[in-house]
Chains A and B, each alone.
Chain A
């Protein structure tokens, strides 16, 4: 090998690193909590899940749609969900927001029920996803997560992390209310 060829050959590690650095650099400017769900713009996947309170009653995908709503993924093992819960109650009580609760891989049904009894239940429908099947289809990264769904049952937006006043005012609330303005002919375009 000539000296020049050797030099170029020995440059390989540097080139590999530079490639990696480009990704790391762009990673800095994207918020990891803002995960794009591959499902934004698509209908909620089909599912068949038991009710949280009544194990023998099941729900399927027909419960979504009809009006704009939120789908909130939560669990009792998740401390952030605890923090978020008060705000969800407020959304339900004061702004009359329709929220479906998806209890995700919880320790036990009893624990989840007890939690809702103690902290209040902001959910219109409570799904119990013990094995995490629906959450898997939705690409859930962790709890809590909230999906905004339009009246056609199409996922319009996904928020990872807790819902609070700021997030609602600045991010999720406007999207949710814009769905009412499109009244009826809501197209499931991706909203940013």
Chain B
């Protein structure tokens, strides 16, 4: 009964989305205020029924109702209750339902916070969200219904949740990413609504900016958590694999990053309008493309769900409709928009254009790398696989000029600036940067690696540039600390965003060049020493969990005479799915991770043990957190909160 209830609620949500897609648009065409103001209640209805449907599926999981196919395939009696809740999104149908819930939640949030927008514009934005909803609800109802029944053959026990996903990191990773992906649909809706109205002004950019930043924050955190999860759960010690699914989340992030910068230009200077709209359309399109790639089985990936051509067809058709119609609208409307603002070669506009070019190039690189195996096959050139070396090399060459520009960008004024006064501080900054980047590894590491120095140069250059910018900001003020505080959240958001990026670069450069990875044969009682760290294999114990049994190895780690700590590294066997999983033992501090993963048992009680020492690996994720905090500061800036009436505002230079 609950399953039918959920199914019915989903159908009702679809009906609401259909009305939402049509009624407000009719209202705007006829100038009928009543129709337009229906957009909000319709949005709330869509959200409400999606929520009911989602709760119904969760209840089915909690009750272990194996008469529902989806529950039977992804849960079991032995599964703990908290994993039953997260099992809802552990496979295709349920994760789509969650996607829908998130989509409806964004729409509802928009409805709630769009009271300050002109009615016509708000009606259009919500209607676009409704149109996107129509496609997704139809997709679910036609091809991916999570409420299908197993009747009459009801299994006694379920097949259990995928063991890879039975982990705290996996509880938050997919929702964060979905909030990010779907959040880009808000930026998309703003862009399309602006195109419909034919008015691309700085007011539009200001409205859409906090929403875009919100989506970007979720994407940033989602990617970070995903990387962290892969790092300790897969037991390989890698933190990024350039897997098609990772790439599918990375591309929207790159575009969203370009978009928040380009929106800044549109908001403050009223230029780059068409470009900004194109980025907003591309960001969401790439989210959809990523979904298509993952769900259709076009590409083989470790994340892939079962391939089903009907689903692929539907998604591709939907992708086609969304992208073709929005790009056509773009061609018709944006081609009429002409910018009157002028700027010269050495200006912040041009530097931000540089930022955009590099980010878009990076996106294209990832897109090519992800799709090339597919093209290659289609063109009859045989199959190839593109792996890390390609991406690593391309990103290596892209990040150098990108970081260089990033250090200078904030120092340069809008419209035009004189390069002369900047040359001296920049030159000194460069000297300091290079000196620090060479000296730090000489002091703290046994060897100096060229690549590590280069990475440090990029990061320190960003620090130096940012610090100099802050100094310039307060140079004229009497009370400098107070002037710093008064800079405004959006300014500090930028500072943290850039600093976070530099922190991530440091993490990547140091872990890639100074990590140690050893695979050794160890039996209980054995010790192994590397870089002064002694790992002692104390004992092997059996552990029994609700749906797994494990061999848990206890290691004592000492450094010289000092005890560092102990770690437990497990080899878990999930009994229902008959899968082996590693639970990595980690001993961490900000400067290094000690990573112990159990490999195969080698007989005679000894094990292949993977021991890694990973300096600064935490910085990679910590940088992401700093970036996200920066985003949060930016989106809560005064000017997004206080502005009452929607009047097109002339750009205010910082």
Assess whether A108 is in contact with B600, with CB atoms less than 8 Å apart. Answer: yes
Say whether chain B's binding surface is mostly helix, strand, loop, or mixed: helix
Assess whether B335 is in contact with A3, with CB atoms less than 8 Å apart. Answer: yes
Interface residue total, chain B, C-beta cutoff 8 A = 46
5 more contacts with CB within 8 A, not counting A10-B274, A108-B519, A114-B603, are A14-B324, A23-B371, A32-B307, A36-B383, A38-B383
A sample of 28 inter-chain contacts (CB < 8 A) reads A7-B331, A10-B334, A13-B282, A14-B328, A24-B316, A25-B316, A27-B298, A27-B374, A27-B377, A28-B309, A32-B300, A36-B382, A36-B383, A37-B382, A37-B383, A38-B381, A38-B382, A76-B600, A107-B600, A108-B599, A108-B600, A108-B602, A110-B600, A111-B599, A111-B602, A114-B603, A139-B384, A141-B300
State how many angstroms separate the Cβ of B629 from the closest Cβ of chain A.
34
Residues of chain B within 8 A of A108, CB atoms compared: 519, 599-600, 602, 608
Known A7-B335, A10-B274, A108-B602; judge A21-B378 contact (CB<8 A): no
Known A107-B519, A114-B603; judge A14-B327 contact (CB<8 A): yes
State how many angstroms separate the Cβ of B325 from the closest Cβ of chain A.
10
Give me the 5 closest cross-chain CB pairs, A-B, nearest first.
A38-B382, A14-B327, A111-B600, A35-B383, A10-B335
Q: Is B341 an interface residue (CB 8 A)?
A: no
State how many angstroms separate the Cβ of B604 from the closest Cβ of chain A.
10
Q: Is A166 an interface residue (CB 8 A)?
A: no
> Contact partner of B375 among A3, A23, A28, A79, CB < 8 A?
A23
> Contact partner of A79 among B327, B331, B579, B602, CB < 8 A?
B579
Q: Is A63 an interface residue (CB 8 A)?
A: no
Within 8 A of A (CB), among B317-342: 319-320, 323-324, 327-328, 330-332, 334-336
Known A7-B331, A23-B374; judge A17-B323 contact (CB<8 A): yes
Q: Is B90 an interface residue (CB 8 A)?
A: no
CA distance A37 to B385 in the complex (A): 12
| Contact flags A135-179 to B (C-beta < 8 A → 1, else 0) | 000010110000000000000000000000000000000000000
Assess whether B600 is in contact with A28, with CB atoms less than 8 Å apart. Answer: no
CA distance A108 to B606 in the complex (A): 13
Q: Is B134 an interface residue (CB 8 A)?
A: no
Q: Is B55 an interface residue (CB 8 A)?
A: no
Q: Is A18 an interface residue (CB 8 A)?
A: yes
Known A26-B378, A29-B309, A32-B300; judge A10-B323 contact (CB<8 A): no
Within 8 A of A (CB), among B495-523: 519
CA distance A10 to B330 in the complex (A): 7
Assess whether A111 is in contact with B608, with CB atoms less than 8 Å apart. Answer: yes
Assess whether A10 is in contact with B608, with CB atoms less than 8 Å apart. Answer: no
Q: Is A96 an interface residue (CB 8 A)?
A: no
Q: Is B296 an interface residue (CB 8 A)?
A: yes
CA distance A32 to B608 in the complex (A): 34
| Contact flags B293-325 to A (C-beta < 8 A → 1, else 0) | 000111110000001010011001001100110
CA distance A111 to B580 in the complex (A): 15
Residues of chain A within 8 A of B381, CB atoms compared: 38
Residues of chain A within 8 A of B603, CB atoms compared: 110, 114
Q: Is A57 an interface residue (CB 8 A)?
A: no
Q: Is B596 an interface residue (CB 8 A)?
A: no
Assess whether A139 is in contact with B382, with CB atoms less than 8 Å apart. Answer: yes
Q: Which residue of B lies closest to A111 (CB)?
A: B600
> Contact partner of B299 among A3, A7, A13, A32, CB < 8 A?
A32
Q: Which residue of B lies closest to A21 (CB)?
A: B320
Q: Is A54 an interface residue (CB 8 A)?
A: no
Say whether chain A's binding surface is mostly helix, strand, loop, or mixed: helix
Q: Which residue of A lies closest to B579 (CB)?
A: A79
Residues of chain B within 8 A of A35, CB atoms compared: 377, 383
Known A21-B316, A28-B316, A110-B603; judge A141-B385 contact (CB<8 A): yes
Within 8 A of B (CB), among A6-59: 6-7, 9-11, 13-14, 17-18, 20-21, 23-30, 32-33, 35-38
CA distance A76 to B601 in the complex (A): 12
Known A30-B378, A108-B608, A111-B602; judge A24-B327 contact (CB<8 A): no
Report which B residues bind A (CB closer than 8 A). Answer: 274, 278, 281-282, 285, 292, 296-300, 307, 309, 312-313, 316, 319-320, 323-324, 327-328, 330-332, 334-336, 371, 374-375, 377-378, 381-385, 519, 579-580, 599-600, 602-603, 608
Within 8 A of B (CB), among A87-145: 107-108, 110-111, 114, 139, 141-142
State how many angstroms separate the Cβ of A87 from the closest Cβ of chain B.
16
Residues of chain B within 8 A of A36, CB atoms compared: 377, 382-383
Residues of chain A within 8 A of B299, CB atoms compared: 32
CA distance A18 to B328 in the complex (A): 12
Assess whether A30 is in contact with B377, with CB atoms less than 8 Å apart. Answer: yes
Q: Which residue of B lies closest to A17 (CB)?
A: B323
CA distance A24 to B384 in the complex (A): 17
Residues of chain A within 8 A of B320, CB atoms compared: 21
Residue of A14, A21, A33 most packed against chain B (CB within 10 A): A14
State how many angstroms separate the Cβ of A98 from the closest Cβ of chain B.
26
CA distance A17 to B323 in the complex (A): 8
CA distance A21 to B327 in the complex (A): 14
Residue of A29, A32, A141 most packed against chain B (CB within 10 A): A32
Residues of chain A within 8 A of B579, CB atoms compared: 79
Assess whether B316 is in contact with A13, with CB atoms less than 8 Å apart. Answer: no
Residues of chain A within 8 A of B384, CB atoms compared: 139
Assess whether B377 is in contact with A17, with CB atoms less than 8 Å apart. Answer: no
State how many angstroms separate the Cβ of B489 from the closest Cβ of chain A.
34
> Contact partner of A28 among B300, B312, B335, B336, CB < 8 A?
B312
> Contact partner of B608 among A18, A23, A107, CB < 8 A?
A107
Residue of A27, A79, A139 most packed against chain B (CB within 10 A): A27
Q: Which residue of B lies closest to A39 (CB)?
A: B382
CA distance A3 to B333 in the complex (A): 11
Assess whether B324 is in contact with A17, with CB atoms less than 8 Å apart. Answer: yes
Residues of chain A within 8 A of B298, CB atoms compared: 24, 27-28, 32
CA distance A179 to B28 in the complex (A): 70
Residues of chain B within 8 A of A33, CB atoms compared: 300
Residues of chain B within 8 A of A76, CB atoms compared: 600
Assess whether B331 is in contact with A11, with CB atoms less than 8 Å apart. Answer: yes
Assess whether A107 is in contact with B599, with CB atoms less than 8 Å apart. Answer: yes
CA distance A24 to B580 in the complex (A): 35
CA distance A139 to B602 in the complex (A): 30
State how many angstroms separate the Cβ of B306 from the closest Cβ of chain A.
12
Assess whether A18 is in contact with B519, with CB atoms less than 8 Å apart. Answer: no
Residues of chain A within 8 A of B281, CB atoms compared: 13
Residues of chain B within 8 A of A28, CB atoms compared: 296, 298, 309, 312-313, 316
Residues of chain B within 8 A of A110, CB atoms compared: 600, 602-603, 608
CA distance A33 to B298 in the complex (A): 10
Residues of chain B within 8 A of A139, CB atoms compared: 382-384
State how many angstroms separate the Cβ of B420 from the closest Cβ of chain A.
35
CA distance A7 to B600 in the complex (A): 62
